[in-house]
Structure 1
Amino acid sequence: MDRELPVVRLCVAGMQAEAEGRAEKARELFQQAWDGARDDYEACVAAHYLARHQSSPAETLRWNQECLDRADLVGDERVQGFYPSLYVNLGNAYRELGRADSAHRYFVLAAERVAEAPEGQYGDWNRFAIAEGLRGTAAAAAAEGDEGAAVRGRVGESVEGLVRELFAGWCERGDLKALALTLPAYLGYLGTDEDRVRLRSALHMVHAARWLPEDEQAAVEWALGVMAMP
């Protein structure tokens, strides 16, 4: 974003106030940004931050929808990288309202565009948020007759069941090497073939190093075998 734009400067100031625990001041600055927006792009930016300071889930949803609508109206490269997080925000808003089936649809849309998010920590945050949203809403979507969600849910549950117990043991023992190698692939698992290969490769590295206790070594070997199955 162009930090010289008045709207962006106001939002940056609002983020600073937010970080300092001055929520009311932050909301005031974001409202000023919205009131001063001169086009759909600036309105999109301001709406994104205003959505974070609403008093009800319904209002949060309304402002996140406003943000998405304005991004659609802009429709150029300036907003391309926004879409993964815009869809995540809408998914989270629908979850807050108890509408998990609608939330799931937006997490799926976010997953389809996750590659458009900027690389680095922001991109990782988006991927992790999308993966968590998909896991948390797949059952509701499957209940609504979404066959794709049912498949993704079964795959996600299978993978999660195989590795969660291992993670619990590594956390308890403080095995930072095993966690560092595998957690990024697990937390960012979106159910694609590429994600499956990434997670299996991470587990394989831990298995090949052979530093785990014998029972965990056998558990990882079993997990690798199951994950290799079609």
Structure 2
Amino acid sequence: MEPGNPVVLLCGQGMQAEAEGRADDAHALFQQAWDAAADDYDACVAAHYLARHQKTPQDTLHWNQECLRRADLVGDERVSGFYPSLHLNMARAHEELGERAESHAHYRQAADRIQDTPAGPYQDGIRFAVAKGLRATGEPAPDGALAELLAKLCARADLTALGLLLPSYLGDLGTAEDHAKLLTAVHMVHASRSLPEDEQALLRQAIAELTPR
């Protein structure tokens, strides 16, 4: 975003108000940002934040649609990194309205553009949310032995094994690359031989289930 832009400054103040629990002040600041928007870029930014403070799912969807529409009108590198988040927000809005097909389509578009967002914690957060949404709206999750193993690891708080497995498991968007990352993580835990034998057996089963035939 553009740090000196007055719309961006107003939205930053709104986020600060939101963090302090002043929801009405936050909404007022985001509305001021919308009113001050000088072009489609400004309007895209303001609409994104206004969508956070709507009282009905329909109004939330409206502002997310407006945000996406304005981003399309901008159409340059300033907004390219916004698209995974924009489609995620659209997907959530449709899901809240019970519009499963529309929701899934936007989750899929968010997944397809995930690399437009720079790698790091922000992208990871979007990736995990998109993967969860895809599973909730119809795409299968890695299941079977791996799911059983993760439940056991969570129950006994094996943070080392979970730290290796969960990022790939939770961030699986259904691509061949993501599948390979998950299989590699499972192999790494198996090779460490750090788990009880019953869990090692589940790892072997998970490897068999995940290995392409």
Length-normalised TM-score, structure 2: 0.98
After superposition, where does 1:1-230 map in structure 2 within 5 Å? 1-138=1-138, 153=139, 156-157=140-141, 159-230=142-213
CA contact (8 A) 1:41 1:71 kept: yes
**What's the CA shift for 1:162?**
3.2
Q: Is the 8 A contact 1:117 1:126 kept in 2?
A: no
Whole-Å Cα distance in 2 between the matches of residues 219 and 112 of structure 1?
32
Q: Distance between the aligned counterparts of 1:93 and 1:174, measured in 2?
A: 34
Which amino acid is 1:92 matched to? R
Question: Is 2:82–2:117's contact at 8 Å kept on the other side of the alignment?
Answer: yes
Task: List per-residue Cα deviations over 1:41-69 (Å, max 9, x = no partner).
Answer: 00000000000000000000000000000
Distance 1:160 1:129 in 2: 18
Counterparts of 2:88 and 2:205, CA distance in 1: 34
Equivalent pair of 1:103/1:137 in contact (CA under 8 Å)? yes
Measured in 2, the distance between the counterparts of 1:101 and 1:228 equals 30
Amino acid across the alignment from 2:179: R
1-structure distance, mates of 2:28, 2:69? 23
Counterpart AA for 2:126: N
> Which digits, 9 at most, give the CA deviation of each residue in 1:132-187, with x for residues without a partner?
1110001xxxxxxxxxxxxxx3xx34x13332221111111110000100110011
* 8 Å Cα contact 1:40-1:70 kept in structure 2: yes
Give the drift of 1:2: 1.1
Give the Cα separation in 2 of the matches to 1:125 and 1:222. Answer: 29
Aligned-residue CA RMSD (Å): 0.9
Moved over 3 A (4+): none
Gaps of at least 5 residues in structure 1 are 139-152
Do 1:30 and 1:49's aligned partners in 2 also have CA atoms closer than 8 Å?
yes
Bigger proportion of residues as helix: 1
Assess if the C-alpha contact under 8 Å between 2:144 and 2:206 holds in 1: no
Please say if residues 44 and 66 of structure 2, whose CA atoms lie closer than 8 Å, have aligned partners that are also in contact: yes
Residue 21 of structure 2: SS of its match in structure 1?
coil
The amino acid of 1:72's aligned partner reads D
AA partner of residue 204 (structure 2): E
Query: Percent sequence identity over matched residues?
Result: 58
How many residues align? The count is: 213
Deviations 1:88-131 (A, max 9, x none): 00000000000111100001111111100122111111111110
Output the TM-score relative to the length of structure 1. Answer: 0.91
The question of whether the paired residues in 2 share the 8 Å contact of 1:51 and 1:61 is answered with yes
